Amino acid sequence: MNFGFVTDENMSLLTDLYELTMAQVYFKEGMNKIAIFDFYTRSVENRSYFVNAGLEQLLYYLENIKFTNDDIEFLRSTGKFEEEFLQYLKNFRFTGNVYAIDEGEIIFPNEPVVQIEAPLIEAQIIETFLINSLQLPILVATKAMRCYSVAKGTVLVDFGLRRAHGTDAGMKAARASYIGGFTGTSNVLAGKEYGIPIFGTMAHSFVLAYGDEEKAFQAFAKVYPDNAVLLVDTFNTIEGIKKAVQAMKKLNMKSFKGIRLDSGDLLKLSKEARKILDQSGYKDAIIIASGGINEYKIKDLLDNNAPIDGWGVGTELVVSADLPYLDCAYKLVEYNGKPIMKFSKKKVTLPYKKQIYRFYEEGKIKKDLIVSFDEIVKGGVPLLKKIVENGKIVKELPSLSQIREKALENFKTLPEELKDINKTVHFLPEISEKIKETVKMLTKKYIQR
């Protein structure tokens, strides 16, 4: 029996087979000049912006990728690799450079979010893990910021671990949603590993095991007098709220943390709950809502003045339910100094090693301009920063809470129309003349063939 955990020891094999078979061909042909690959997202119909996330996990991988004896042994057993190449893999390290946009920065379609500059074999081998590392964090950080953008200062907590796609998704979702403006997570391990504040309330099973709400609430509040958020919808919500109040009164509690509504008409129930709590003297008790919550429901409820103080956002956040995958790519854009592009009717690849300049006006993003790396641009802020040089991290990485703070600052730079969760604005970067000319030139060259 084998769980199949991915760890330091085996992560280097977490790749598509073709990365390694192509690498063997390159190796045998001595084809290993410097390549530039771009990771970028494409436009979609229900996101006007994305929030960058997942970079630290990618950097960890790049600094630590190595093929262990065990890995080599497995590759040998497949019969697909020759000894010389296996020996090469034994000493394999990532020795390239990484240019990347900061985690927590706002990103737009077609912009290289991570740019890899490395010998071709290395740049190719890391492809699969790179995309895997970035896709979910970007999806969840973006979904989280969409929730944040309509939450009017109410508290958002990630409740999604159970419905995340496996163990790692639970960790990545907790981290990315924190970056996107959440206050914390229910995921204890994410609390330990990343220092994210952890929160919890109680389950229906807790009430059911006692068979009686008052008993259940009292038992919980005795152990957690300052931290009891009582789940009131197991039998009948309004009765449950009254039982919560009775239970707290019987314990002579002057105040208690609050209640959680997990089903039903949250607008109506939260208003009735507020009334009951206030009339009972529990004006400070908060109301948490959960159960199928997403940014659309949060906006709708708060626009209708639902007196909800906090949200447990689960499934829809961690699987990014209305956009469960990112249309993203990792494409070769330069090899051995020559610009490269792929041809496809709908899909854009921009040749060259590049830089993105962001222009602001009155504190808001005005436009992004993508240029080839050597073009001089005035007045914009360069977004791609050299984080890894010759395989080593050369820039101090911000802490997770610094990333989050920065992300919330970045949110303020979003043009207002991009914040509308019910509308999609295709805010695309401008492209420099040099790149445009090269696209034309390459298109002509390949079409003429």
Helix (H) or strand (E) holding 358: strand 354-361
Closer of 302 and 319 to its own copies (Cβ): 319
State yes or no: residue 156 binds its own copies (CB under 8 A).
no
- Among 168, 272, 389, 405, the residue binding its own copies under the rule CB under 8 A is 168
Q: What's the min distance (Å) between Cβ of 209 and its own copies? A: 5
Q: Which residues, 6+ apart, have CB-to-CB distance to 54 below 8 Å?
A: 103, 133, 134, 135, 136, 137, 138, 172, 176
Cβ neighbours for 281, distance < 8 A, ≥ 6 positions apart: 254
CB-wise, 28 or 249, nearer to its own copies? 28
Given 15, 149, 154, 294, the residue binding its own copies (CB under 8 A): 15
If binding is defined by CB under 8 A, does position 383 make contact with its own copies? no
Q: Which is nearer to its own copies, 169 or 302 (CB)?
A: 169
Q: How far is the CB of 235 from its own copies (least distance, A)?
A: 5
Q: Which is nearer to its own copies, 263 or 424 (CB)?
A: 263
Query: Is position 399 an interface residue for its own copies (rule: CB under 8 A)?
Result: no
Among 52, 97, 110, 132, the residue binding its own copies under the rule CB under 8 A is 132
Among 177, 186, 290, 355, binds its own copies (CB under 8 A): 186
Three-class secondary structure of residue 312 per DSSP: strand
Containing H/E element for 117? Answer: strand 114-119
Phi, psi of 166 (to 5 degrees): 90, 180
One residue of 4, 337, 363, 379 binding its own copies per CB under 8 A: 4
Closest CA to 14 of 127, 96, 91, 95: 127
Nearest residue to 139 (alpha-carbon basis) of 111, 101, 180, 188:
180
Residue choice 42, 76, 152, 192 for contact with its own copies (CB under 8 A): 192
Closest CA to 411 of 87, 182, 81: 182
Residues 6+ apart with CB under 8 A from 371: 354, 355, 356, 357, 377, 432, 434, 435
92 binds its own copies (CB under 8 A): no
CB of 409 to its own copies, least distance (A): 23
Structural tokens at position 125: 């081998």
Residue 301's closest CA among 284, 314, 288?
288
Closest CA to 398 of 58, 51, 103: 103
Within residues 243-282, the interface with its own copies by CB under 8 A covers 263
- Residue among 116, 190, 245, 439 that touches its own copies (CB under 8 A): 190
**Residue 4 beta carbon to its own copies: minimum distance, rounded to whole angstroms:** 4
Q: Determine phi and psi for 6, rounding to 5 degrees.
A: -95, 125
Q: Which two tokens stand for residue 324?
A: 């469960």
Site residues (CB under 8 A) for its own copies, limited to 316-375: 319-321, 324-326, 331-332, 335, 338, 340-344
From residue 31 to residue 50, the character string flagging contacts with its own copies as x (rule: CB under 8 A) and all else as - is x---x-x-------------
Q: For its own copies, which residue of 66, 93, 204, 406 counts as binding (CB under 8 A)?
A: 204
- Using CB under 8 A as the binding criterion, the count of chain residues that bind its own copies stands at 113
- Between 71 and 105, whose beta carbon lies closer to its own copies? 71
> CA–CA separation, 398 vs 137, rounded Å?
17
Minimum CB separation of residue 281 from its own copies in Å reads: 25
H or E element at residue 328: strand 328-335
Residue 343: which of 354, 355, 332, 328 has the closest Cα? Answer: 332
- Three-class secondary structure of residue 78 per DSSP: coil
- 307 scored as a contact of its own copies (CB under 8 A): no
**The two three-digit tokens of residue 280, written as one number:** 């009972």
User: Stretches 86-94, 209-217, 281-289, 404-412: which one binds its own copies (CB under 8 A)?
Assistant: 209-217
Binding mask 51-90 for its own copies (x = CB under 8 A): -----xx-xxx-x-------x--xx--x-x----------
